[in-house]
Amino acid sequence: MCAMTRAALAVLALIGCTTEDGPPIRYGGVMVSVLRDELPVPDAAVVFHDAYGRVLGTTRTDSTGHASGEISTWGMVTVVDPRFPQRLTTITHVALGAALEVPLTPVYTPAPQVGTLAIAAPATSPPAETFQYSIQTPCASDGALTLPATIPLYEGCAPEFPVLITARTQNQNLEDPGRALAYVAGQAIDGTFQPGAWSTQCKQIAVATELSMSLQLWPRLDNYVFRYVDLGFCPASPSMLPSLDFAEGGVAYAFGYVQGAPLRTASLLRDLATVPASLELPRTELLIGDVELTRFDGKGAVWTSDPALADADAVDAKLTWSPSAGTYVEWRFVLPRDATSAPVPELPAELRTWTTLDGATEVILDLRYLDASWLASLQDVEAELPLMLDGARSKRGPAAGGSLRDYTEQIHPLQQ
């Protein structure tokens, strides 16, 4: 094997070096951007590894959330969450020259305020029972008891952006949080929004699924998808899915449990150019399989493969250990589609919050298989990490006309 001294890296990057049983090993740079809630994360430790998990270098992200370093052919990159140092993410099989965006666990910290939005009174009177208003924009969720109103705007709203306002009854308690009565939507321009008339118009979509699944359709307005819309004013029916229709389509989201042990779930995100009259979701359109855990210890986890999951583009494996009472280590791995193991790479001693992971009192393996219709390789997946890892929570939806499927098994080996 090649020596990996810093002095040799420049030469190796150009000529490579040949192992006895494989292609030449080369070295090259990787750019890393660390994000949380779509915002840059400074001072996050980033470790650069070779393909075997050995440490080649360590650095920290700058004030813009960026870091760079060198890996070997199909090496790894590990990011340690500076807010939760017991949470780590390792991206494997990284291509030389790659640019990675690594999302950390969301905590929904507000972005910096960049201005205000002045909302005028709508063109018509609100419903008689109205007590308050919920206000949604791409960069703010707020409320008001009266309209007109002015709300703060945070980083993430362009000069022109969509606004959705819902008139609601009064909150009573947790069991009775109030009802949605009507909505008004439109475009804000240069910090002002002039609403049109209140509406209760809904589109009813006939749905058919082979699994018992939760189905939602998130409407798109001004190219932004509103994921949280209270449609309490729409007629309810077990076989119909209500949605708002702004003539821009939206994203369908389906989630359901798959029968059998351990805990198994399947979900689907699908981009729709128009809001359809009907939506069918047969089992064959979902990504569903079955794997078995064969080993889980301080060195990582090993599991079986399943041909039914061969369409996946990548595996998102989350390993959790509880070394002692009240402590845990959560390590996430992005792996090739045919991976059957997640080996723990080396880590500098100062970045470990644990003494040993062997003998943990509790261990959990979450295996999530990802299939994006518009992607073809693990490297494509690594270019879309905020969407692929955050899924339905991400602000980034599937590519136009595309779909994102996932299948997850959660295994508790010590409880079996």
Does residue 305 lie within any of the structural domains? Answer: no
Q: Are residues 170 and 223 in the same domain?
A: no
Whether 148 and 83 map to the same domain: the answer is no
Asked which of 252, 285, 318 is the last residue of a domain, the reply is 285
Q: Is residue 183 located within the same domain as residue 236?
A: no
Q: Quick one: which of 320, 259, 329, 264 has its CA closest to 291?
A: 264
Which residue among 165, 193, 221 closes a domain?
193
Write out the residue range of the structural domain in which residue 19 sits.
Answer: 6-103
Q: Does residue 46 form part of some domain?
A: yes
Is residue 392 situated within a structural domain?
no
Is 290 part of a structural domain of the chain?
no
Mean pLDDT of 196-210: 95
How far from 264 is each of 239, 259, 309, 353, 359, CA to CA, in Å? 24, 7, 13, 30, 26
302 part of a folded domain: no
Mean pLDDT for the chain overall = 91
Predicted local distance difference test score (pLDDT) of residue 23: 58
Residues 26 and 49 in one domain: yes
Does any domain span residue 362?
no
Q: Are residues 222 and 278 in the same domain?
A: yes
Percent of the chain whose pLDDT exceeds 70: 94
CATH classification of the domain holding 94: 2.60.40.10
Q: pTM of the entire structure?
A: 0.89
pLDDT exceeds cutoff 80 at 2 = no
Same domain flag for 188 and 224: no
Local confidence band at 314 (pLDDT 50, 70, 90 cut-offs):
very high
Residue 389 within a domain: no
Q: Are residues 275 and 222 in the same domain?
A: yes
| pLDDT number for residue 11 | 35
Q: Is the pLDDT of residue 328 over 80?
A: yes
Task: Examine the domain organization and report whether 10 and 98 are in the same domain.
Answer: yes
Looking at the fold, whether 16 and 61 belong to one and the same domain comes out as yes
Final residue before a domain boundary, out of 161, 193, 225: 193
Domain count, the chain: 3
Residue 307 covered by a domain:
no
Q: In terms of domains, do 266 and 222 share one? A: yes
Tens of pLDDT, residue by residue over 17-31, are: 444 455 578 999 999
- Quick one: 222 and 163 in the same domain? no
Please give the pLDDT value at position 12.
37
Is residue 94 domain-shared with residue 142, that is, in the same domain?
Answer: no
